[in-house]
Amino acid sequence: MRILLLTPPMIQLNTPYPATAYLTGFLRQHAARLDLEVTQADPAIELFLRIFSRAGLAQILAELTARAAALGGEVEAPPSIAHFLQHGAAYLATVDAVVRFLQGRDPGLALRIAGRSFLPEGPRFAAIDDGPGAQDDDPLTWAFGMLGTTDRAKHLATLYIDDLADLVRDGIQPHFELSRYGERLAASAATFDPLRDALEAPPTLVDAALDEIARDLFRAHRPELVGLTAPFPGNVYGAFRIARAIRAVSPTTRLVLGGGFVNTELRELTDPRVFDYLDFITLDDGERPLLALLEHLRDPTAPLLRTFVREAGRVVLRSDPSLHDVPLRDGGTPTYDGLPLDHYLSLFEMLNPMHRLWSDGRWNKLTVAHGCYWKKCTFCDITLDYIARYDLASADLLVDRIEALIAETGQTGFHFVDEAAPPAGLRALAERLLARGVVITWWGNIRFEKTFTPELAALLARSGCVAISGGLEVASDRLLALIDKGVTVEQVARVTRAFTDAGVMVHAYLMYGFPTETTQETVDSLERVRQLFAEGCLQSAFWHRFAATAHSPVGQKPDLFGIRLHAEPAVSFARNDLAFDDPTGTDHDLLGVGLRKALYNYMHGLGLDEDIRSWFAPAGRRSRKAAVPPTTVAPDLIRSALDDDR
């Protein structure tokens, strides 16, 4: 049986999403027994390269020009469209060169791009002239100094790409973004109607390009089964679009959907119309359900595992409890065979080192352990398999897989994609990497727990660790206890400082709006974060707005957290985010603006001496203090914690 595994648009542009690489490596272990021919492709990068090209932009320019002529100037165009129409010829002349540069194929172009006379500069470039170096003759000197030509050019080229992405969204495809294609159509959509209506509407230029890519892939591979991964709401529309196009040219090809979005949001699926586009939908890890499905297609009496099907017009979940998931040790080595690794683009959008890791450079993806060894955080989907089932791989097996991926790709960068990599597992891995003389560069996610001592941080750094991320969340000991995070702010300070002292970059995930969080606690959380930056414990962070989800303790037992869930509509498609009322009445939307503004400055070493309240002051207000309370946190809280540790 010929199997084609696909990643629909859009996810990321710098490296393949690992789902198809994992599944291809796994299924090829069973190829001889089941007579399988397994290949993979990435329509996401192909769609980007087709749209962001001279030919693609020429089509967009022609359509927008004709539309503007028909309107006769009666409607004012958004800035992205107005700028493109004015400078269309310049975009057509430069786009292919910019893409080649970001792919690493034409490094010499950096000098022309960095000179800021080569690219048409649209609305996104305003951030440079309004940023921290705005008063300088060269407003990027503060970020790159007098050197760093390649990085400077990469940042400018990324802003150019962002301008074009805004153009596509504003002028061609309303739900298009570089890493989220159609997200609003799928995220927690109680019914299938919005997604189906978009799929059956007249296709846009972007839709038509994706349809053609799907048909090209079918003609090239002639698959009997196509597997689509939808890890996020932002690539669900692309998955259904591809399935629709393949079904139109080959009604007998079986189509199966899985991935993170399915696992979290489609567990209550009842709408049979979904199966007008698909034949099967699998939940949780895909290895065993796919293997069971392939055996079922050979022998219809063979059982299925966690697989939705349509039977007699109804959605049915088929799952035989005698079937068990594949242990991490038996999952095989991921393979990128078949993926165009030289086609991916290294982007440099945010002037922050950790954000750069996510978007710049290509990383081989591996997992130290499946699931989370802690699995207690009350905001997390701890009832679902991807968190609840903990399974640690041996260090030697991991190093074997690392060496195999280096041999295949020629690249030694690794991103360990664990929910929270276990300290013992990382220690063992580091020791084996050093003992076997395997040189890699790696980063991953951890919990800021006390086991990460200065000694362990130094060991991980010697093994190649350059960055770690972890959840500080609300930076409030009361709320950390309510979350059951298992850490305190002072403990986080000690762990993060240990990594910083070892030369490892530290990124913190931050959260605001957790149930019962008050304005005072939010202000105090920001003060603790300020001190962590000032003491060199953090180099990067990001504030997330809390969301109650259906599979977390908060969503399942809201009374325990002092909130009341809103009445929900009848769900026949997706369910995950839950609206709720918090009796504290804190205006988290207003506070979020100040939190993000402060953090942006802290990450650039700016504003660390500012009064915390100044970040919440309305724009243009004379007073540097907003109508929020002053912090109650001692000004030397973090320093004292670090001094005590010493």
Angle, helices 88-102/79-86, rounded to nearest 10 degrees: 100
How large is the greatest C-alpha to C-alpha distance in the chain, in angstroms? 75
Q: Same domain, yes or no, for 30 and 17?
A: yes
Q: Same domain, yes or no, for 428 and 532?
A: yes
Residue that the structure tokens 């195999």 belong to: 404
The verdict on residue 343 lying in a domain is no
Q: Same domain, yes or no, for 231 and 129?
A: no
d(Cα 510, Cα 7) in Å, to the nearest integer?
29
CATH code for the domain of 20: 3.40.50.280
- Encode pLDDT of 179-193 as tens digits: 665 556 666 689 999
- Encode pLDDT of 563-579 as tens digits: 999 999 999 999 999 99
Q: Same domain, yes or no, for 233 and 306?
A: yes
Identify the pLDDT of residue 142: 52
In 3D space, the residue among 181, 250, 200, 232 whose CA is nearest the CA of residue 43 turns out to be 181
Helices (H), 187-307: 193-200, 205-221, 236-249, 260-265, 287-298
The verdict on residue 610 lying in a domain is yes
- What is the rounded average pLDDT of the residues 276-291? 97
Most confident of 361-370, 429-438, 595-604: 429-438
For residue 625, pLDDT beyond 70: no
The total of structural domains in the chain comes to 3
Secondary structure letter of residue 326 according to DSSP: P
Identify the pLDDT of residue 352: 65
Amino acid occupying residue 554: V
Q: Same domain, yes or no, for 312 and 266?
A: yes
Of the residues 281, 314, 330, which one is the last residue of a structural domain? Answer: 330
Identify the pLDDT of residue 622: 43
* Spatial contact of 434 and 463, defined as CB atoms under 8 Å apart: yes
The verdict on residue 191 lying in a domain is yes
The verdict on residue 340 lying in a domain is no
pLDDT: is 84 or 605 the higher one?
84
Identify the pLDDT of residue 141: 59
Residue that the structure tokens 């972007």 belong to: 206
The verdict on residue 341 lying in a domain is no
What proportion of the chain, given as a percentage, has pLDDT over 90?
A: 81
- What is the rounded average pLDDT of the residues 302-319? 97
* pLDDT confidence tier of residue 360, bands split at 50, 70 and 90: confident
Q: Counting beta carbons within 10 angstroms of the beta carbon of residue 389, is it exposed (0 to 12), middle (13 to 18) or buried (19 or more)?
A: middle
Retrieve residue 100's tokens.
């080649």
Q: Same domain, yes or no, for 43 and 54?
A: no
Rg (CA), the chain: 25
Most confident of 135-139, 255-259, 597-601: 255-259
Identify the pLDDT of residue 90: 97
> 284 by DSSP, 3-state: which?
coil
For residue 194, pLDDT beyond 70: yes
Of the residues 171, 194, 219, which one is the last residue of a structural domain? Answer: 171
- Encode pLDDT of 514-561 as tens digits: 999 999 999 999 999 999 999 999 999 999 999 999 999 999 999 999
Identify the pLDDT of residue 143: 54
The verdict on residue 336 lying in a domain is no
What is the number of alpha carbons within 13 Å of residue 283 lying toward its C-beta?
19
Q: Is the dihedral of CA 552, 556, 560, 564 positive or negative?
A: positive
Q: Same domain, yes or no, for 451 and 587?
A: yes
* Spatial contact of 416 and 433, defined as CB atoms under 8 Å apart: no
Q: Same domain, yes or no, for 576 and 497?
A: yes
- What is the rounded average pLDDT of the residues 601-623? 81
**Peptide bond before residue 10 is cis, with ω within 30 degrees of 0:** yes
For residue 634, pLDDT beyond 60: yes
d(Cα 402, Cα 333) in Å, to the nearest integer?
9
Identify the pLDDT of residue 131: 58
CATH code for the domain of 495: 3.20.20
d(Cα 102, Cα 49) in Å, to the nearest integer?
12
pTM for the predicted model, two decimal places: 0.92
- Encode pLDDT of 363-377 as tens digits: 999 999 999 999 999
- Encode pLDDT of 111-149 as tens digits: 999 988 999 999 988 877 665 555 555 666 555 554 578
d(Cα 305, Cα 319) in Å, to the nearest integer?
4
Q: Same domain, yes or no, for 127 and 215?
A: no
* Spatial contact of 442 and 465, defined as CB atoms under 8 Å apart: yes
- Encode pLDDT of 393-411 as tens digits: 999 999 999 999 999 999 9
The verdict on residue 36 lying in a domain is yes
Identify the pLDDT of residue 136: 55
Helices (H), 342-474: 353-359, 385-388, 395-409, 423-435, 454-462
**Peptide bond before residue 505 is cis, with ω within 30 degrees of 0:** no
Name beta bridge partners: 541: 508
* pLDDT confidence tier of residue 73, bands split at 50, 70 and 90: low
Identify the pLDDT of residue 184: 61
**In 10 A of CB 312, how many CB atoms?**
6
Residue that the structure tokens 């970059």 belong to: 505
Of the residues 171, 193, 212, which one is the last residue of a structural domain? Answer: 171
- What is the rounded average pLDDT of the residues 443-449? 96
Residue 147 belongs to what domain range?
Answer: 50-171
Secondary structure letter of residue 231 according to DSSP: -
Rounded to 5 degrees, what are φ and ψ at 17?
-65, 140
* Spatial contact of 564 and 555, defined as CB atoms under 8 Å apart: no
Full 3-state SS string of 14-29: CCCCCHHHHHHHHHHC
* Spatial contact of 34 and 26, defined as CB atoms under 8 Å apart: no
- What is the rounded average pLDDT of the residues 92-98? 97
The verdict on residue 355 lying in a domain is no
Retrieve residue 180's tokens.
């989220």
Q: Same domain, yes or no, for 637 and 594?
A: yes
For residue 643, pLDDT beyond 90: no
Q: Same domain, yes or no, for 385 and 482?
A: yes
* pLDDT confidence tier of residue 585, bands split at 50, 70 and 90: confident
* Spatial contact of 51 and 168, defined as CB atoms under 8 Å apart: yes
Q: Same domain, yes or no, for 399 and 275?
A: no
Identify the pLDDT of residue 486: 94
In 3D space, the residue among 544, 598, 557, 550 whose CA is nearest the CA of residue 576 turns out to be 550
d(Cα 243, Cα 280) in Å, to the nearest integer?
11
Full 3-state SS string of 439-460: CCEEEEEECCCCCCCHHHHHHH
